[in-house]
Structure 1
C-alpha cells in the first residue's frame, strides 16, 4: 500500500465541486475548509464537460485556480480522471458507447456512468482525458492522490451491448482456452446449449426461461474484470506520468454492492478506498457500518484504508431519508476510524443548489456555516486532529468471517431450493451475533491465511473451490473453532454440484451428510429440542464417522417432518472443532451458539473486564475496538446507548484528555479513544 504522503495525520475532507459555484463562494470554501481543518478534497470527479467543453478544446482556468488555492491553504487534492460522466458532445458523436440492459434497452444520458466499460471508443476518449489531466497537473504541489473515475460499476456494471458481447467472448477464450472446456464448465449438454464456436456465445440476455447459471456466473466475473481492466488502463497512464503519486478508486464495500469482486481488485490499488452510507430504516445500521468497515479492512489485507465518502446527515436516494444527529455523525465517522480508516471524507463539501443530489447532505449545508451540521464538521476536524497519532496503526482480531463475492453471485442465482436466500443477510446474521458479543471480526476471503484465528465463521459459502475448502479444514485441524452455516460447500467454482451428499466440500470436516434440503415456507417454523425455534431452511441430516471421532448432535428437531433428525452438530477434528448449523436459528439461539463457540475458542470480549462499573443491560451496545501501533494501543469505545457508560482502562482519553484508570464516563452516544 502507498499512502498519500502529502497528507499529514488522518485525512479529512470530501468531494469538492467548485465548478458549481460563483467566485465568492469558492473563496469562502477555502476559508471554511481551513476552519474545519480539512486537509484533503476530491476534485474533478464529474468535470469532463467543464474541462473539455468540446472535443479537443480544454478549459483549465477554473481547475488551475482551484488547485492553486488548495495548495496555498495546505490542502491536498485527490484529483479525479473526470471520466465518471461522459460529456454530451461525446454521446452525440458516438451513441454506440451507451450501455444496454439484458432486455436490449439503451441506458441514455441524463444521469451518470452512461458508458459501456467494454466500448473501445469510450476507452479511447476516457484514456485521452485522463492523460490530459495527468500531464496538466503532474507537477502541481497540491496533487496528493489520483482518484480514478468514481464508484466503478455502481450503475453500469452489467452491460449487455454488442461491445460487451465481444469482450465477453475474448474473456471466455482466455479463461477456458477451448470451446470444449467452455462446454464442460457450463454444462451445455443440458437444454441443447452446446457451442461449436466462441462466436456463438452471448451475454446472459433476457431469455424465455432461466439462463444457464454458469453463464450468468461467468458474466458476473467478466463484468468485474472488464471494469478492473478499464481501471488499470487509466492507472498505467497516471503511473507513467506521475510515478510518485498513489492511485485509487472508491469501492463500495457494503452489504448492498455485489457487482465488483473487490478482493480481486485490491492488489491493483495503491491504497484501498471505499464509500459507505447507512440505511435509514435499519435500526441497527451501526452494526452494518461496522461490518462494512471490517470488510474494507479485509480487502485491504489489514492495512489502513480510506473512507472516501459518507454522509454528514441525510442522503437523497432512499425512500425515506434519515437526518443524523451531531452525535451520530461523529460516532459514524469515528466508528470507521476505529476499524482501520485513516481518512474520513464525505460526499460532499458544499450541498448542491441544483441537480439530482441537491438534497444529499454535505459538510456545508444549504443553511450555510451558521448551522449545526457545519459546527459538527468543525468539531470532527478537531477530533481527527487529536487522533493524528492513530494513523498507521492496525486492528487485530481473533475471529475471521469468510466473505466471497463469487459465492454471493452464485448463491443468489435463480432456480435454487429457496430463492428468498440473501447472502448478505446470512452473513450479517452471524456477524451481528459476534458484534453483540463484543468481539472484533476480520472479514476476509476464503483464500486468506486463517492460521492466526481462534474461530472461523463460514456463512452460506455455497460456491467454494477445493483449495479454499481445504483452507477452512486446515484452520479447524490446527485448533480453530469453525462454524459453517447451511447452503455451504454445495458447488465448485463452475457452479457444478458436489455429488454424494451435502454439504459437499465440507462433509468430511463436519462429519455429517445431508441427503436433501427441506426448505421451510414463509412463516413456517419448527421447535428444536433446546426449546428454541428455527425457520427458512432444514435438511435431512445424519452424522457420519470421519477421522478419529464422530460428530455429536448439539440440537435436533423436536417437531415437523424431520423430527428427531440433527439440526446443529459439532465435530472434533485435529486440535479444533467444526460446527454445522443446518437451519436458520432465531436470534437468541444464534447468540447462545456464538457464545458457546467463543468460550470453546477461549475468546473474551474486550468489554468483559473494562465495563465492570456499567450496568449489564448496557454492555451489548458498547462497541470496543483496539488499534495497535508498535508503541501504543488505542482503545476505541463507541457508546450506542441512550445512557452513559463507565470504562476503566489504563491510559488517557485522547478526545477529552481525561484519565481512564479510575473510570472514564463515556456519555450517551459518545466516543472515547484511550491511548495506552
Structure 2
C-alpha cells in the first residue's frame, strides 16, 4: 500500500522543546507561533527523563501541563518516543546498551544516539517507555501524530557492540541456515577465512590495511538495516495499540545503511525528512571555487523522500544558521532563502513543513544551531519571513495532495547502493553518474524520480518515458525480468558501464558480461578498463556529438544482429571500438553505454532521447533556476531561483501566480532567491 501524507492544505509547524524553557514562557511562545502561521509543534524526542527520571519511576505531569496549554491555545502536537537519547541512569547502570567503535571502545553518555538497537536490555526499556508514554498521552486531543525516535542511523550508522555480534550471528543463521552455505556465499576459502562454528563470526573488526571480506561487510550492512527496521517496528507496534483514529506514525530523516522503504512499509504512515540546505555553506565543506549546485543539491534528497512517500512531511526545515560548538560553522540564511528552501520542499512533494527550531537553544552542543528566534526571542527578520511564508501557503492550499510529475526515472536499489559503499570501484562510477545525472536533469529542467527497483512492480515503471540505471553492478533474475518487461512495454532503458558483473552476494559472475542483461542489450563486453589518468579524458562520437566516457570503460561488441552501434570511442588505444549500443525489444529500446555519466554526457542523453526541457512550451528559464512540477486539479509549476541575482523567466502560456492571484505571461523577473508557484490549466 502506498504510504503518503494526507493533508487538505499546506501546513506549517516547528520543533519546540518545553524542557528547555521556563513554563511561564510556553503559553506566550505558542501564541506567537499561531500568530505567525505555526499550527503544529513537535515535542519530546530527547525528553526521556521528563517521563522516567529514575528507573521504573514514571511521572507524566510535565507534558500533561504542556499539552493542556497547547490544547487551550489551539496548537496541534506531534509527540515523539524518546529512544534517541537514553538517560544517564540507564547507560550508567546498563553499559551493554551502548554502541561501540569498531575497535570495541564504547560510545559514552554526553552526546546522542549512543545506544545500539540490539541490546536486549535496551529493547526492554524502550518498549516500556513507549508503552507508558503512548498509554498515557495518545488519547490527548492535542496530539495528531507520533514520531519514532529521531533520525535513525544519524551520527553513526555502524554498530560494533557485543549485542550486535550476537544479533549478527542470529541474522546469518536465519539467512543461510548452515555454515557451509555462509562460507560459499562469503567466499571464505579466500585467505583462509573459513568458519567452522557460528561463534567464530563477529561484526567486522579492525584488520591489517583495514581490508575486510566484502561479502561479509555487504551482509553486515543488510544486518544494520534489518536491525534498524526491527527497532522501528518494535515501537510502531506498541503505538498502533493506542493512537487515535486518524493520528499518524512517522519518523524523520533519511540515513545510510537503512532500507527506508522497508521501514516505512512496515512501521510508518509516511516518511518525513529533515532538510538543511544551508549545509552547502558550512565552513566544514565549503570551497570558494565550488561549482556544485550548493543548496540546490537538497532537491536530490527530497526526491529520495518522495520515492518513499509521494506526499511527505518535513520534520525539520532550515530556518537559521546551523552549527554545533564543535563543527558546522555556517552563515545565517539570506533574506528570501528560508522561503526558497520551504518552496523547494513543497515543490518536491512536502505538504507539511516544520521549522527547526522555534527558539535558538542557549545551552548545549547546538547553541549555534539557530531557529526562527534568536537567544533573546525578539521579533526578527526570520519571523517576518515566516509570516509571509504562511500567507503564501494559504494561497496555495490547492497544491496539497497534488503529485510531483516526472517522465524520467533514475533507477536504484538498496543492494547496489550498499555495494557501492563496500566496493571502491563501484563507488567511484556510482558517485560520478549520480552527480552527473542529477545536475543534468536540474540544468535541463527535466523533473525526475528515483525509482527503487526492489520496491516497485514492473508495471509501476511504465509511466516513465526514459529510465537510467547507470550501474546495475549486482543483478538478479527478478531485477532483469522487471527491466525487460519495462522495455517490452515501450520504455527506453539506459544502462552504463559495470552492469551485471556481480551476483547478489557481491561475487563476480563467470558468465560473459553484462551477465543476465546480455540478451536484452544484445551486447558483449570482451574487455574493460578504468580510464587511466595518463590518458586523460576519454571521448566517444555519437552521430557527430562528442560525449565523455568517464571513469571506467566497457569496450563493447554487438552480440546480436539487431544490436546497433550508436557511438564509438574516439580516443585512447581502443578508439573505434563501440561505446554505445542500442537494441529494440518489443515496443521499446535499450541502450548500453560503456562509461559513467558525467553531467555533459547525461545532458546529451536527455536531449537525444527527447526528454530534455519537457516544459519548454510553457516556461523557459535559466540554468540557475530549478523547475519542479506538481499535478492535481491543475498543473503547478514551481520556479526556484537559487542565484544571488535576478533571473529572467519567459512564460509562453498564461499562468496564474498563486501568490498574487494575477494572470501572468511573457517576461518575468525573479528576484534573488525568489520562488514562484504558477498554475497552468489543463
Residues in 2 aligned to 1:11 and 1:488: alpha-carbon distance in whole angstroms: 43
Which of 295, 298, 301 is the aligned partner of 1:289? 298
Residues in 1 aligned to 2:84 and 2:352: alpha-carbon distance in whole angstroms: 22
Which of 260, 271, 280 is the aligned partner of 1:262? 260
Residues in 1 aligned to 2:617 and 2:554: alpha-carbon distance in whole angstroms: 43
Contact preservation (8 Å) 2:540, 2:548: no
How far has the Cα of 1:532 moved from its partner? Answer: 4.5
Kindly indicate whether residue 536 of structure 2 is the aligned counterpart of residue 525 of structure 1: yes
Partner-residue secondary structure (3-state), 1:623: strand
Q: Report the RMSD for the aligned CA atoms in angstroms.
A: 2.4
Q: Which has the higher contact order (CA 8 A, sep 6+)?
A: 2
How far has the Cα of 1:113 moved from its partner? Answer: 0.8
Q: Which moved more, 1:170-179 or 1:419-428?
A: 419-428
Counterpart for residue 248 of structure 1:
250
Counterpart for residue 378 of structure 1:
387
Which of 408, 433, 436 is the aligned partner of 2:443? 436
How far has the Cα of 1:593 moved from its partner? Answer: 2.5
1:390–1:195 CA distance, 2 compared to 1 (3 A): same
Kindly indicate whether residue 202 of structure 2 is the aligned counterpart of residue 202 of structure 1: yes
Residues in 2 aligned to 1:99 and 1:156: alpha-carbon distance in whole angstroms: 9
Residues in 2 aligned to 1:500 and 1:322: alpha-carbon distance in whole angstroms: 54
Matches within 5 A, 1:403-552: 403-414=412-423, 416=424, 418=425, 421=428, 423-447=430-454, 448=456, 449-522=460-533, 524-530=535-541, 532=546, 534=548, 537-539=551-553, 541-546=555-560, 549-552=562-565
TM-score (norm 1): 0.91
Residues in 2 aligned to 1:102 and 1:529: alpha-carbon distance in whole angstroms: 44
Counterpart for residue 43 of structure 2:
43
Counterpart for residue 409 of structure 2:
400
1:658–1:17 CA distance, 2 compared to 1 (3 A): same
Matches within 5 A, 1:537-576: 537-539=551-553, 541-546=555-560, 549-558=562-571, 560-576=572-588
Residues in 2 aligned to 1:661 and 1:561: alpha-carbon distance in whole angstroms: 54
Residues in 2 aligned to 1:92 and 1:406: alpha-carbon distance in whole angstroms: 37
Which of 338, 342, 346 is the aligned partner of 2:355? 346
How far has the Cα of 1:3 moved from its partner? Answer: 6.8
Contact preservation (8 Å) 2:432, 2:598: no
Q: Which moved more, 1:129-138 or 1:153-162?
A: 153-162
Matches within 5 A, 1:307-346: 307-316=314-323, 319-346=328-355
1:150–1:570 CA distance, 2 compared to 1 (3 A): same
Kindly indicate whether residue 642 of structure 2 is the aligned counterpart of residue 640 of structure 1: yes
1:523–1:387 CA distance, 2 compared to 1 (3 A): farther
CA displacement 1:23-62 (0-9 Å, x = unmatched): 3432331122112211111100100122222112234333
Residues in 2 aligned to 1:467 and 1:72: alpha-carbon distance in whole angstroms: 55
Counterpart for residue 362 of structure 1:
371
Counterpart for residue 165 of structure 1:
165
CA displacement 1:197-229 (0-9 Å, x = unmatched): 333321112223522211100110110111111
Partner-residue secondary structure (3-state), 1:620: coil
How far has the Cα of 1:87 moved from its partner? Answer: 0.3
Kindly indicate whether residue 658 of structure 2 is the aligned counterpart of residue 649 of structure 1: no
Counterpart for residue 152 of structure 1:
152
Residues in 2 aligned to 1:77 and 1:503: alpha-carbon distance in whole angstroms: 53
Counterpart for residue 615 of structure 1:
none
CA displacement 1:323-381 (0-9 Å, x = unmatched): 32232221111111111111111222211111111111212233534211221122222
1:373–1:204 CA distance, 2 compared to 1 (3 A): same
Residues in 2 aligned to 1:47 and 1:25: alpha-carbon distance in whole angstroms: 18
1:40–1:422 CA distance, 2 compared to 1 (3 A): farther
Contact preservation (8 Å) 1:346, 1:362: yes
Residues in 2 aligned to 1:327 and 1:433: alpha-carbon distance in whole angstroms: 26
How far has the Cα of 1:79 moved from its partner? Answer: 0.2
Partner-residue secondary structure (3-state), 1:431: helix
How far has the Cα of 1:553 moved from its partner? Answer: 3.6
How far has the Cα of 1:125 moved from its partner? Answer: 0.8
Partner-residue secondary structure (3-state), 1:636: strand
How far has the Cα of 1:147 moved from its partner? Answer: 0.5
Contact preservation (8 Å) 2:474, 2:499: yes
Counterpart for residue 622 of structure 1:
625
Counterpart for residue 311 of structure 2:
304
The alignment of Structure 1 onto Structure 2 pairs a total of residues equal to: 655
Residues in 1 aligned to 2:244 and 2:23: alpha-carbon distance in whole angstroms: 33
How far has the Cα of 1:533 moved from its partner? Answer: 6.8
Partner-residue secondary structure (3-state), 2:154: coil
How far has the Cα of 1:164 moved from its partner? Answer: 0.5
Residues in 2 aligned to 1:596 and 1:331: alpha-carbon distance in whole angstroms: 32
Residues in 2 aligned to 1:299 and 1:168: alpha-carbon distance in whole angstroms: 27
CA displacement 1:119-163 (0-9 Å, x = unmatched): 010111111111111111122111101101000111343211111
Contact preservation (8 Å) 1:557, 1:566: no
CA displacement 1:477-526 (0-9 Å, x = unmatched): 22222111222322121112122333333333332222343213457523
Q: Which moved more, 1:218-227 or 1:424-433?
A: 424-433
Residues in 2 aligned to 1:422 and 1:518: alpha-carbon distance in whole angstroms: 12
Counterpart for residue 52 of structure 2:
52
TM-score (norm 2): 0.90
How far has the Cα of 1:649 moved from its partner? Answer: 3.4
Residues in 2 aligned to 1:605 and 1:653: alpha-carbon distance in whole angstroms: 21
Residues in 2 aligned to 1:356 and 1:432: alpha-carbon distance in whole angstroms: 34
Residues in 2 aligned to 1:126 and 1:372: alpha-carbon distance in whole angstroms: 41
Kindly indicate whether residue 674 of structure 2 is the aligned counterpart of residue 670 of structure 1: yes
1:207–1:635 CA distance, 2 compared to 1 (3 A): same
Segments of structure 2 that go 5 or more residues without pairing to the other structure are: none
Partner-residue secondary structure (3-state), 1:421: helix
Residues in 1 aligned to 2:39 and 2:350: alpha-carbon distance in whole angstroms: 15
Partner-residue secondary structure (3-state), 2:223: helix
Residues in 1 aligned to 2:27 and 2:242: alpha-carbon distance in whole angstroms: 30
Residues in 1 aligned to 2:47 and 2:429: alpha-carbon distance in whole angstroms: 37
1:226–1:217 CA distance, 2 compared to 1 (3 A): same
1:47–1:577 CA distance, 2 compared to 1 (3 A): same
Contact preservation (8 Å) 1:510, 1:551: no
Q: Which moved more, 1:563-572 or 1:38-47?
A: 563-572
How far has the Cα of 1:193 moved from its partner? Answer: 2.3
